[in-house]
Amino acid sequence: MCSVSNTMVCLPEEETATKHYSQLVTELAQNTTQIKYYTSNEVFSIGTLANLGGLTHLVYSECSSSSTLLYLVLDNASTLQVLNLDIDNPEQVSQFVHTDAGAQVTYPNLHTLKSVCASDTVVERRSAPLHTPFPKLRNLTMTHSYPFTNDAMFRGNHLGQLGLNLDIIDLLILDKSGVLEKNRFAQVTDLDLEINLIDQPYGTGFGQRLCRMLLEMAPNIESLKLKFMGIPLKNSLQNSFAAVPPLDKLRFVTITGVALSLAETVGLVGRIPKLSQLMIEPQTTDYENEDYEAEGALRAEEIRRVEELRQAKTLSRSALRNVIFHSPSYADMNGASHFACQLAILCPRLTCIRWGYHSSAFDSCCRDNAADTLYSAYKKRLESVEWTKVK
């Protein structure tokens, strides 16, 4: 089925490739400015798509025909504004900046580029364009390796949103090219970074330097998502937040890949003055062997430390309102519920703490804790907190 709405054509996933149908699609596609391409059917060969000039929006999710994608992108380079790709090889992106004959290609109107690659394909061949391919780019998301050996993707533009998936090679390339310099992305408000260093060597002190660079390169961010794979960066992250100037506009933070203890969470929240929502993986202490005496002593000691922090007004001015525990398991629910109650005691504006996707069970666990004599001094405070829905 092929549908047309104004100047937008949605091409079908499965259709019989007949000559008449091919003709119909070709005629419908004339004067089209937006296209979604989700098929490998022969009916959408390069010949059929030859009339698709002047595209402004291209959504492409078809992995078996890279030549079709390359044709569409290069043929519409001067008019494309939005390019949303689901590809099987990140090297395809590097082919967008030059023709087969070696001529440079520029995208003067492209403001949004999203390139998703579900596979773990490693970029083997990276080019180093000398021109400025994407001068108007404002939103960039790539879930795969960086495809160039220089700063081509960032040259001459002023990004407002940036999402990258980086390994050690990518980091070294971007660092050498000056992409990670202080204030390089002064206009970025939304920063989403996945750092994957699994089975990759890095020197002592690299984590500290890396975290500091990542925070300093975008000083005006409002939303920060960090995912660390294969490297224990939480100490480096804590120290970096303390070392850089306050991120006064930062309101939403997500940190995954490393678990944070209550003390580490308190330290982090205290260094982000306007933090409103926090998503973390809680590091909890639980007793699987039902050692109630030991657990009781542990919780009593935790409450003593929490009271010391509360009296010191450590987080009395915190703007934190919502906390989400990311991907916890049921085995940690008891410890996580104590974590939640204690954090709520310390943050006077905190109105909701939610447990991943298991809200009702977590709600019951937190309410049971709040009614326990251990928390009797804070009963009124804990009764005011929601444990199921972020507000």
Mean of pLDDT over the chain: 83
Average pLDDT over residues 46-67: 73
Average pLDDT over residues 216-239: 82
pTM of the complete model beyond 0.95: no
Instruction: Please give the residue that has the higher pLDDT: either 179 or 244.
Output: 179
pLDDT, residue 1, reads 34
* Euclidean distance between CA atoms 386 and 124, whole angstroms: 50
Q: pLDDT tens digits, residue range 172-193?
A: 999 999 999 999 999 999 999 9
Of the segments 43-57, 85-99, 195-209, 279-293, which one has the largest average pLDDT value? 85-99
* Euclidean distance between CA atoms 376 and 371, whole angstroms: 7
pLDDT, residue 234, reads 63
Average pLDDT over residues 235-260: 85
Cβ–Cβ under 8 Å, residues 210 and 195? yes
Strands (E), 261-365: 277-282, 322-325, 352-355
Average pLDDT over residues 272-278: 96
What's the pLDDT band for 17 if we cut at 50, 70, 90? very low
Distances (CA, A) of 138 to 62, 163, 176, 271: 25, 12, 23, 29
Is the pLDDT reported for residue 43 higher than 60?
no
Could you give the percent of the chain with pLDDT greater than 70?
79
What's the pLDDT band for 378 if we cut at 50, 70, 90? very high
pLDDT, residue 3, reads 38
* Euclidean distance between CA atoms 196 and 96, whole angstroms: 26
What's the gap between Cα 274 and its chain centre? 20
* Euclidean distance between CA atoms 381 and 341, whole angstroms: 9
Instruction: Please give the residue that has the higher pLDDT: either 188 or 6.
Output: 188
pLDDT, residue 246, reads 83
Distances (CA, A) of 57 to 73, 79, 281: 10, 9, 37
